[in-house]
Structure 1
Amino acid sequence: MRLAGHVIVEQLAECGSDLAFCVPGESYLPVLDGLYAHRDKIRLITARQETGAAMMAAAYGKLTGRPGICLVTRGPGATNASGGVHVARQDAAPMLLLVGQVPTGNRDRVAFQEVDIRAMYAPLAKAVFRVDDPDRAAEFVARAMVTAVSGEPGPVVLELPEDVLSASTAAPVVPAVPPVVPAPSAADVEAFVSTLTGARRPLLVVGGTGWTAEATRAVRRFAEAARIPLATAVRHQDLVDPRSPVFVGTLGLSTTPGLSAAVADADVLAFVGTRPDALTVDDFALLDVPVPQQTLLHVHPDPVVLHRVHRADLAIVAGPARFAAALPAVSGDSSPWLSRLREDYLRGPAPSVAAEFMRLLAERVPDPVVSSGAGAYTAWPQRHHRFTTFPSHLGTQSGSMGFGLPAAITAQLVHPDRPAVAFAGDGCFLMTAQELSTAVRYGLAPLVVVVNNNSYGTIRDHQQRRFPGREYGTDLVNPDFAAFARSFGAAGERVRTPDEFAAALDRVRGKAAVIEIEVGGLSR
């Protein structure tokens, strides 16, 4: 016999969990005690606020393809974690949020910190389960872990009443099973390839989760052999090495006018692993809803996603890695079309101060995992950084501010041999800046580049376009970010010019650090 809280941890370990993030709470003390008992199998990272913990778990899911584990208490813990759960849902990142809850006998009595977890998380999570029987604790954890990685991955919430966690059970753990990932049929692959290679103006777009390094190479080999222009969906630049002769750019917020026009001009569009969502196809302006003008090929692991917004001429239920592995080496010829798109990509953005900052970063910080939240500053890495390794990019589809630093912390934990660079605006950084303390505590060395324009810059840009001369509520008064970083035990620098930035990078190498770049009105 052992406590149900211990069984939950045993089941997590059985399912392959090796890392968990938390803000502790008295509502799930038996689980914490179970983590202590199994600390040789699962490392526990204590964050400073639940939003940061949940974002760290979401980043783990994005990096590894396995559920990121986050533990929070009831009430304010659960509500604070919702931002990270939303990131995981929008990004199709597998995640398990374990939430302590009031004892079952106090349910629906407005008990201390009580929140209806099912009602709250139903629209945010992929599924919400509650453990009301200690004998079924392992069963529900196993179910949650499988649900998080099945079909389109996403976050699952598991509600844990305090009295259930403290009850004893003799129930065994449930044997772990690998996720069921659909594979394409030979006929589906043949139809996909023949349609794409037979087009005069094809465009292949890859994105989403469920990729492996080998799968990214496989899809690139196919596109290069067939001479198919290959683009990435927004926030997924690391899926294609930009040095590939068929890479033509990234759709989304920082795309080129030429690539946007190519989506409209293409006669065959193929999306693999991702959805043609609002960010990727310019708020649906580039792809008519529900029936596109272009022939649409759509490959996705979840049948619910197919045809949901856009009617596809060919819909294939398949995981991106298994689909990429099935692609044959075939020849094709869309050379004039490919040449036009590739040349447009190679012209690149106009020279800028931002590009010079990014060049200096690339020289001094090789092969980093780059993360960011939301804001005008995200154009710096999106436009000017060359993602040549997979995985190396952690962004958010949800536009959630504050993601950069928590994601960089996770990147250092998962890939301790690689540097992690988090980009943030001054508004974005202070959403989760306290997690700098977490990085220092655990001996991690993320570099945070704060692009400071003293405003919520993106919102201000929208105000200036829609209500010129009436900007309101978007100016910020900021702390000394360098001194702020030093107060946590990290290095802190403030720079204005590229030369100062280069010198600062040299001084902070190998340390947890914040480099504030004062940009004034420059944000892109």
Structure 2
Amino acid sequence: MTKTTADIMVDALVQNGVDTVFGIPGAHSYELSDALARRSNDIRFIHTRHEQGAAYMAYGYAKSTGRPGVFTVVPGPGVLNAGAAMCTAYGGNAPVMCLTGNIMSHLIGQGRGQLHELPDQLATLKGLTKHADRIDHPGQAADKMATAFTEMLSGRQRPVAVEVPWDVFGQKGVAPQQGPAPRRHIAPDPDANARAAQMIAEAQNPMIMVGGGALDAAAEVLALARQIGAPVASHRSGKGIVSDDDPHAMNLIASYDYFRDCDLLIGIGSRLELQFMRWQWRPAGLKVIRIDIDPTEMVRLKPDLGLVGDAAEISAALSVALDGHQAPDRTAEFQEIKARARKASEQVQPQMGYLDAIRGALPRDGFFVEEVSQMGFTARFGFPVFSPRQYVTCAYQDNLGFGYNTALGVKVANPDKVVVSVSGDGGFMFGMQEMATAMQHGIGVIAVVFNNNAYGNVRRDQMTVFDGRLLGSDLTNPDFVALARSFGMAAERAETPAALAEALDKAIASGGPALIEVPVERGSETSPWTFLHPAPHG
């Protein structure tokens, strides 16, 4: 059977479990759009109002499920518009796939100034992704799509991209039989596991630090933590891997308190950002074990012992190797540390009051999507999370415009769950046009916009570090409630935590798209950075 390149690509999507594609159709990829239209029973297409929105929605879909998030945009400006989201997917270790076109194959590299031409689009994509390739003939389509899926899903998951010249999408070739793309497996080193088990058995005050690489290892990490009597710390990407209401879970405030006596740090799927970049202090004699599927991490931050492989597999192997080792019950000690941390965090107001209101209204299995803002920063230590993937973060990119768009992708992937997006006024306006997407496709995200009429963090730094010389940090905003209503969206204003809780209850009950604006006096927020960058232990 012969099929077009585009049809073979769509076959690959279906065979690899893709059920949703986000994007904006355009001339260079009309054949791909038509192939998707003819497979609408298999793949839902969500069209957005900006390419960045499409890519962020794919990211939200991927981060909240662990399944591939796929988007398609036009080449050139479309790819560049989606670039910020691909940076986020790279930093957040998300399996996101970009499908795009290019100019006519015989004109690539000629510099003739064709529609949407970039000097070297493939090189640009390679700089933003783990893997990028071009399909030059329909006979390559199946193999190159399979390779893209394998690269995206094997080892450290990160975004990939596939581009196709304008004239190649519609060319026909023999369509091979396709199945799910294989994943590569890294076998753990049993000798290294044995050495790690010995180091753990000898430790008096071990700590486990989890990151995004441990999202699928929750049960194994908790079993190991209980066995060795260790708290489990997290920052952003690791929140919820051990439920925050479990005695072994510690937020970044509590874990810093415990860290003063730590003698063994076990990093599982984590860059150890807290301990080696933010805390700026480590106890004497600290030893470090790293468990990571990416061997280059052992070079970036060299541990005393590195174990390369899957987090769940190695954690389970360590529990077996430590069979018979049972640490004393430290629940009371851990609870005391956590209580001190909670009391300390309550000084960060009004953020903690509003975050408590959101946590009280959000169902236990609901999703919280942060954004760079005073609420977002505070949520890293002040918002409890009970399961992996329920706290969706932009990882180390910390980019404005991430939150609302990503939340829409989370909701598409989890239609039966409540999804709350928390943004500042500055960040929300990077992607507010996607309220149209939410309304057109019935995507019931609840956007909570904290409006302090400023880029709050920039303004605080200008006031405190640069003698109050303000430049570009004060904002004049629209009426967000009126704006949302102009899209046909339910919207209201809440001026206290109690009013926010009531508004959230109403929005959750309705099930539809909603916006809640929370006015905050400019410059009134307590800085959360006391805890995000704490002073060294004395």
TM-score using structure 2 length: 0.89
Relative to 1, partners in 2 of residues 1:53 and 1:499: Cα closer, same or farther, differing over 3 Å?
A: same
Residue 242 of structure 1: how far off its partner (Å): 1.3
Q: Deviations over 1:437-458 (max 9, x none)?
A: 1111111211111111100111
Once residues 388 and 64 of structure 1 are traced to their aligned partners in structure 2, the CA distance between those partners, rounded to angstroms, is 15
Once residues 211 and 380 of structure 1 are traced to their aligned partners in structure 2, the CA distance between those partners, rounded to angstroms, is 22
Q: Does 1:231 align with 2:258?
A: no
Q: 2:380 aligns with which of 379, 382, 388?
A: 382
Once residues 487 and 293 of structure 2 are traced to their aligned partners in structure 1, the CA distance between those partners, rounded to angstroms, is 43
Q: Kindly report which structure 2 residues correspond to 1:321-400, keeping only aligned pairs within 5 A, or say none.
A: 321-328=312-319, 330-333=325-328, 335=330, 341-350=337-346, 352-367=349-364, 368-397=366-395, 398-400=397-399
Residue 265 of structure 1: how far off its partner (Å): 4.9
Which SS does the other structure have where 1:517 is aligned?
A: strand
Residue 304 of structure 1: how far off its partner (Å): 2.0
Contact 2:215–2:389 (CA under 8 A) maintained in structure 1: no
Which SS does the other structure have where 1:31 is aligned?
A: helix
Q: Does 1:206 align with 2:207?
A: no
Q: 2:250 aligns with which of 217, 237, 248?
A: 248
Residue 339 of structure 1: how far off its partner (Å): 6.6
Q: Deviations over 1:252-293 (max 9, x none)?
A: xxxx2x63365465321111012123x6643473469xxx96
RMSD of the alignment, in Å? 2.3
Relative to 1, partners in 2 of residues 1:460 and 1:353: Cα closer, same or farther, differing over 3 Å?
A: closer
Which position in structure 1 is the counterpart of 2:291? 299
Which position in structure 1 is the counterpart of 2:13? 12
Which position in structure 2 is the counterpart of 1:431? 430
Q: 2:124 aligns with which of 112, 120, 125?
A: 120
Where in structure 2 are there 5+ consecutive unaligned residues?
Answer: 527-538
Once residues 454 and 286 of structure 2 are traced to their aligned partners in structure 1, the CA distance between those partners, rounded to angstroms, is 41
Relative to 1, partners in 2 of residues 1:334 and 1:508: Cα closer, same or farther, differing over 3 Å?
A: closer
Q: Does 1:64 align with 2:65?
A: yes
Q: 1:276 aligns with which of 256, 259, 272?
A: 272
Which SS does the other structure have where 1:32 is aligned?
A: helix
Q: Which moved more, 1:143-152 or 1:174-183?
A: 174-183
Contact 1:5–1:165 (CA under 8 A) maintained in structure 2: yes
Contact 1:260–1:286 (CA under 8 A) maintained in structure 2: no
Which position in structure 2 is the counterpart of 1:253? none
Which position in structure 1 is the counterpart of 2:114? 111
Contact 2:73–2:99 (CA under 8 A) maintained in structure 1: yes
Once residues 152 and 23 of structure 1 are traced to their aligned partners in structure 2, the CA distance between those partners, rounded to angstroms, is 28
Q: Deviations over 1:332-375 (max 9, x none)?
A: 24949857744544545125433332333233331210002212
Contact 2:265–2:286 (CA under 8 A) maintained in structure 1: yes
Contact 2:352–2:382 (CA under 8 A) maintained in structure 1: yes
Q: Deviations over 1:405-425 (max 9, x none)?
A: 122212212211110000000
Which position in structure 1 is the counterpart of 2:530? none
Relative to 1, partners in 2 of residues 1:437 and 1:287: Cα closer, same or farther, differing over 3 Å?
A: farther
Residue 460 of structure 1: how far off its partner (Å): 1.4
Matching residue's letter, 1:331: Q
Contact 1:235–1:395 (CA under 8 A) maintained in structure 2: yes
Matching residue's letter, 2:375: Y
Q: Which moved more, 1:145-154 or 1:279-288?
A: 279-288
Relative to 1, partners in 2 of residues 1:341 and 1:199: Cα closer, same or farther, differing over 3 Å?
A: farther
Matching residue's letter, 1:54: A
Q: Deviations over 1:283-310 (max 9, x none)?
A: 473469xxx96311111112122222x2
Q: Deviations over 1:87-131 (max 9, x none)?
A: 000011111111111011222222111012122223221121111
Q: Which moved more, 1:56-65 or 1:25-34?
A: 56-65
Once residues 287 and 185 of structure 1 are traced to their aligned partners in structure 2, the CA distance between those partners, rounded to angstroms, is 28
Q: Does 1:311 align with 2:302?
A: yes
Once residues 233 and 365 of structure 1 are traced to their aligned partners in structure 2, the CA distance between those partners, rounded to angstroms, is 21
Which position in structure 2 is the counterpart of 1:175? 179
Once residues 201 and 59 of structure 2 are traced to their aligned partners in structure 1, the CA distance between those partners, rounded to angstroms, is 37
Q: Which moved more, 1:333-342 or 1:54-63?
A: 333-342
Residue 216 of structure 1: how far off its partner (Å): 0.7
Residue 503 of structure 1: how far off its partner (Å): 3.2
Relative to 1, partners in 2 of residues 1:265 and 1:70: Cα closer, same or farther, differing over 3 Å?
A: same
Which position in structure 2 is the counterpart of 1:23? 24
Once residues 271 and 371 of structure 1 are traced to their aligned partners in structure 2, the CA distance between those partners, rounded to angstroms, is 24
Q: Kindly report which structure 2 residues correspond to 1:22-171, keeping only aligned pairs within 5 A, or say none.
A: 22-107=23-108, 108=110, 109-115=112-118, 116-171=120-175
Which SS does the other structure have where 1:113 is aligned?
A: coil
Residue 81 of structure 1: how far off its partner (Å): 0.5
Residue 71 of structure 1: how far off its partner (Å): 0.3
Once residues 496 and 233 of structure 1 are traced to their aligned partners in structure 2, the CA distance between those partners, rounded to angstroms, is 29
Once residues 15 and 343 of structure 2 are traced to their aligned partners in structure 1, the CA distance between those partners, rounded to angstroms, is 51
Residue 192 of structure 1: how far off its partner (Å): 2.2
Q: Deviations over 1:13-70 (max 9, x none)?
A: 1122111111111111111111111111111111110111111111222222232111
Matching residue's letter, 1:271: G
Which SS does the other structure have where 2:477 is aligned?
A: coil
Which position in structure 1 is the counterpart of 2:481? 482
Which SS does the other structure have where 2:416 is aligned?
A: coil
| Structure ranking higher on relative contact order (CA contacts 8 Å, 6+ apart) | 2
Residue 134 of structure 1: how far off its partner (Å): 1.6
Once residues 162 and 201 of structure 2 are traced to their aligned partners in structure 1, the CA distance between those partners, rounded to angstroms, is 46
Q: Deviations over 1:486-518 (max 9, x none)?
A: 111111111212233233224333221111110
Matching residue's letter, 1:242: D
Contact 1:266–1:294 (CA under 8 A) maintained in structure 2: yes
Which SS does the other structure have where 1:166 is aligned?
A: coil
Once residues 190 and 246 of structure 2 are traced to their aligned partners in structure 1, the CA distance between those partners, rounded to angstroms, is 27
Where in structure 1 are there 5+ consecutive unaligned residues?
Answer: 251-255
Contact 2:213–2:268 (CA under 8 A) maintained in structure 1: no
Which SS does the other structure have where 1:30 is aligned?
A: helix
Matching residue's letter, 2:374: A
Once residues 421 and 308 of structure 2 are traced to their aligned partners in structure 1, the CA distance between those partners, rounded to angstroms, is 35
Q: 1:320 aligns with which of 311, 317, 321?
A: 311
Percent identity (aligned): 29
Contact 1:299–1:316 (CA under 8 A) maintained in structure 2: yes
Which position in structure 1 is the counterpart of 2:194? 190
Matching residue's letter, 1:270: I
Relative to 1, partners in 2 of residues 1:321 and 1:459: Cα closer, same or farther, differing over 3 Å?
A: same
Relative to 1, partners in 2 of residues 1:280 and 1:412: Cα closer, same or farther, differing over 3 Å?
A: farther
Matching residue's letter, 1:388: F
Once residues 359 and 338 of structure 1 are traced to their aligned partners in structure 2, the CA distance between those partners, rounded to angstroms, is 22
Residue 187 of structure 1: how far off its partner (Å): 3.3
